[in-house]
Structure 1
Amino acid sequence: MTERRHDREFVRTFFTSPTAVEGEADSAKMLRRAAQLRGMQAPDVWVPDNEDATAPSMRDEGAENIVEVVVEHGADFPGEIHPRMVWHRDSPTTRYQGFQHMLEIADPERGAIEHIDGFVIPEVGDIDDWKKADEFFTIVENEHDLEEGSLKMSVIIESGQAELAMGTLREEMGKPTNNLERLFLLVDGEVDYTKDMRAMTPTGELPEWPELRHNTSRGASAAGLIAVDGPYDDIRNVEGYHERMAENRAKGMLGIWSLTPGQVVEANTSPLPPKTGSWLLDIDGEQVELEAEDGAEVYDGDHLSLEATDGGYQLHIDGTTRTLDADELREELHGMTSYVPSMDDIVDSMEEFEAAKEAGRGAIAMEQSATLRIGGTEIDISKDRMWDEATYQAAMTPINLFQDVYENRPDQHEELNERYGADVVSRAMEVGL
């Protein structure tokens, strides 16, 4: 993985707010609410959205509102602030309007820019279009005597052109003819991407675009940037939101767009290691989380049952019965079970491996054991996992995420200590250093 180009290694949440609401006595009321979010309700990146979330007739007022609200609340906001400007690869007029708003917002005499970390540019096209946006950033910085490259640029991938452009970033960044090193986030915008691709589904719903998410994650990893998935607009479907985030994390995409403070909470907590470990049982490709009860891991479903017999056990799976002795049963259950480690488990394993490495050992076996209770019958199982340097480095990813969150979000310290316990938090901040 290419080294990150910015202090933040991870972004969990990308939260947009309209900059001006038409017909309200205070058109900036949504901005004011968002600016006062704290703790797990506050995003890692807050995006005052002067593009799609704001009516075209309100965007001039929206730019003014950004300045007013950020001046008032920006110093206390716990995340980064990246206003989203208007831009379009096919419209010079739109690009110029976005440039003018950037100039207004970045004016040091107005006081907002000291709290703003960068700007988000939507609807980019091929790499030449990214360079146009970068050049506008450079002009803004020079116009206002800001350090060149100090404003981060994040782009929203909403077209096939932009998707292909990610493949050229490695060779373009660092050239003396541009300041593309300022790039920060690559954010998927599946709605406009679907329109650009002329894609259709029978229900009219968006395609899931797993290829786009993979390509964005790969592009970000190759260029030292951070990948963020687009909005999940079924805001009441918490389970679906969690499934989407789990799929993304398996691709290396830990960040996701959040549309409500409730989604922010879910997206802030979901990628963190769990508070307690859990055992999973795989039944016909579906993983079921077992319930911890009186020292045993209990399966209480209808698809699997277990009975002890004089000679061993009978295992019933969806109408099929197998007669097994204890060793055969353990071998069968070994292949059907997996363990999701808690934060404490991960820290314990890393500390144990660090101690072994210090003693000159390159690999050690870690044991996980449990008593399974299926249909009232219990059996003990254990699983061994070999830890070497590669395993250790892979385990560092969730720990690095936690350390990055803890360092950059002091407003979440109390909630993190309540979630894990102060001792586990302290140990997690020490491993890997």
Structure 2
Amino acid sequence: MSVKRHYEREFVRTFFTSPTAVKGEDDSAKMIRSASQLSGMSAPDVWVPDNEDATAPSMRDEGVQNIVDVVSENGADFPGEIHPRMVWHRESPATRYQGFQHMLEIADPEKGAIQHIDGFVIPEVGDIDDWKKADEFFTIVENEYGLEEGSLSMSVIVESGEAELAMGDLREEMGKPSNNLERLFLLVDGEVDYTKDMRAMTPTGELPAWPELRHNTSRGASAAGLIAVDGPYDDIRDVEGYHERMRDNQAKGMLGIWSLTPGQVVEANTAPLPPKTGSWLLEVDNRSVELVEEDGRQVYDGDDVSLEETGDGYTLRVGSDEDELDDDELRETLLDMTAYVPSMDDIVDSMEEFEAAKEAGKGAIAMTQSTTIVIDGIEVEIRKDRMWDEATYQAAQTPITLFQDVYEHRPDQHNELAEMYGSDVVERATDVGN
């Protein structure tokens, strides 16, 4: 089934929430006022003025007014999309009604905010019937103010087993004349409430990793033509942990993640983009060690791997394992232990080379990567050959397609991208694959 999209973004890297009203401040809207002025890599692809969990229940009516005031004033200049989060709960009609009333208030064209708002985020959804209830409220809001049906995107936060199962119903339900579920945009994981709903426990009290939920959300988004976003990573000082979570997500096809601070926004905006320079990795005891480039050679500088020459070969030690190898065996072993992370320039080069070969009538070509590995002063040349066909080309195109999507929709990041990669690489990257 082909689903017509009602939104322009094909990729969302960052989902940044900020409280709509802060109690005890002279300006209760100071957090969303500050967020509305972010730009460049500090500004998210999707900004979520959060009138649910991030805002105290007693402040939510004021929070709605703050959304109207701030977005009407600054929304036109905000470089990303704006999707306020409303209150909702699958088991509470009163909460759903309150969220509906808040949507009506924000969407009034005379108040000047809805012109800059792309949609709303609905938390705590349940089974597919509950998603349809939310969708119907969107349709009522659009008809109340003469907006085009489906013009407001709906994103949901998957925070229950019911919602997780409902993702499997989307392909069947979307496109039926009885609903406007084609307005769906993001599927966002909410691991905290999901943990509560599942009655899960860990010895330390920390959240489970929930890789199954993240896989299921990515799969549900892929099947329904939507975008998957992971939930918040609340240890905001653990930058490496945040990067590790994003790398794990990206291997699942989940390229977006919740950001809690502008610092996390910067990290999440840059992490899915191809690196500026390529790097060689050495796999040691199930972990990757980045080799250090020195004069075009890749040098291992660590204690877990050692190499020495013997009379007729080499002794290679990896951890507690030791092998006696000849020249060819050493090359094959190091070849198996190494991996290359291509740069943006590398990916563009390979795609351009394959496009030229395809234009010349070739269906597949061999791409070669070679380098010299240095361990304990001993140099070993390795060479990797990889066949590229149309499927390989399409797979390699994903990071470039993401970059092109960013470049098209985030002109405020053009200067930073040019500084990162160089103007020539940026120009080639925007042209390749088109």
Shorter-chain TM-score above 0.5: yes
Matched ranges for 1:11-410 at <5 A = 11-410=12-411
Query: Secondary structure, in 3 states, of the residue corresponding to 1:378?
Result: strand
Query: Secondary structure, in 3 states, of the residue corresponding to 1:17?
Result: strand
**Quick one: distance in 1 between partners of 2:52 and 2:243?**
27
**Quick one: distance in 1 between partners of 2:77 and 2:62?**
23
C-alpha spacing 1:2/1:335, structure 2 compared with 1 (3 Å): farther
Q: Would the aligned equivalents of 2:4 and 2:182 in 1 still touch at CA under 8 Å?
A: no
Deviates most, 116-125 or 374-383: 374-383
**Quick one: distance in 2 between partners of 1:230 and 1:137?**
24
Runs of 5+ consecutive residues of structure 2 not aligned to the other structure: none
Query: Secondary structure, in 3 states, of the residue corresponding to 2:155?
Result: strand
Q: Would the aligned equivalents of 2:285 and 2:319 in 1 still touch at CA under 8 Å?
A: no
Q: Would the aligned equivalents of 2:298 and 2:374 in 1 still touch at CA under 8 Å?
A: yes
Partner of 2:432: 431
1:264 Cα offset (Å): 0.3
Query: Secondary structure, in 3 states, of the residue corresponding to 2:431?
Result: coil
**Quick one: distance in 1 between partners of 2:157 and 2:284?**
39
Query: Secondary structure, in 3 states, of the residue corresponding to 1:187?
Result: strand
Query: Secondary structure, in 3 states, of the residue corresponding to 2:151?
Result: coil
Query: Secondary structure, in 3 states, of the residue corresponding to 1:266?
Result: helix
Task: Give per-residue Cα distances to partners, 1:329-354, cap 9 Å, x unaligned.
Answer: 11111111110100000000000000
C-alpha spacing 1:14/1:107, structure 2 compared with 1 (3 Å): same
Equivalent residue letter for 2:283: D
Equivalent residue letter for 2:26: A
Q: What is the aligned-residue RMSD (CA, Å)?
A: 1.1
**Quick one: distance in 2 between partners of 1:390 and 1:31?**
44
**Quick one: distance in 2 between partners of 1:22 and 1:431?**
50
1:3 Cα offset (Å): 6.6
TM-score by length of 2: 0.98
C-alpha spacing 1:268/1:2, structure 2 compared with 1 (3 Å): farther
Equivalent residue letter for 2:151: S
Task: Give per-residue Cα distances to partners, 1:233-271, cap 9 Å, x unaligned.
Answer: 011000100000000001000000000000000000001
**Quick one: distance in 2 between partners of 1:195 and 1:332?**
47
Instruction: Report the identity percentage.
Output: 81
- Paired residues in the alignment total 433
C-alpha spacing 1:178/1:320, structure 2 compared with 1 (3 Å): closer
1:432 Cα offset (Å): 0.7
Query: Secondary structure, in 3 states, of the residue corresponding to 2:267?
Result: helix
Equivalent residue letter for 1:15: F
1:376 Cα offset (Å): 1.1
1:324 Cα offset (Å): 2.0
**Quick one: distance in 1 between partners of 2:43 and 2:116?**
16
**Quick one: distance in 2 between partners of 1:88 and 1:312?**
68
C-alpha spacing 1:367/1:193, structure 2 compared with 1 (3 Å): same
**Quick one: distance in 1 between partners of 2:253 and 2:309?**
44
Deviates most, 358-367 or 309-318: 309-318
Q: Would the aligned equivalents of 1:4 and 1:225 in 2 still touch at CA under 8 Å?
A: no
Task: Give per-residue Cα distances to partners, 1:371-401, cap 9 Å, x unaligned.
Answer: 1110111111110110000000000100000
Equivalent residue letter for 2:200: A
1:314 Cα offset (Å): 2.3
Task: Give per-residue Cα distances to partners, 1:199-238, cap 9 Å, x unaligned.
Answer: 1111111111111000000000000000000000011000
Equivalent residue letter for 2:343: S
Equivalent residue letter for 1:327: D
Task: Give per-residue Cα distances to partners, 1:27-54, cap 9 Å, x unaligned.
Answer: 0000111000010000000000000000
1:286 Cα offset (Å): 1.5
1:307 Cα offset (Å): 1.9
Q: Would the aligned equivalents of 2:15 and 2:229 in 1 still touch at CA under 8 Å?
A: yes
1:311 Cα offset (Å): 2.4
Q: Would the aligned equivalents of 2:3 and 2:182 in 1 still touch at CA under 8 Å?
A: no
Partner of 2:420: 419
**Quick one: distance in 1 between partners of 2:154 and 2:322?**
60
Q: Would the aligned equivalents of 1:2 and 1:221 in 2 still touch at CA under 8 Å?
A: no
1:325 Cα offset (Å): 2.0
Equivalent residue letter for 1:284: D
**Quick one: distance in 2 between partners of 1:123 and 1:426?**
43
Task: Give per-residue Cα distances to partners, 1:266-300, cap 9 Å, x unaligned.
Answer: 00000100110010111121111111112210101
1:327 Cα offset (Å): 1.4
Query: Secondary structure, in 3 states, of the residue corresponding to 2:130?
Result: helix
Q: Would the aligned equivalents of 1:2 and 1:222 in 2 still touch at CA under 8 Å?
A: no
Deviates most, 311-320 or 421-430: 311-320
C-alpha spacing 1:2/1:331, structure 2 compared with 1 (3 Å): farther
C-alpha spacing 1:115/1:315, structure 2 compared with 1 (3 Å): same
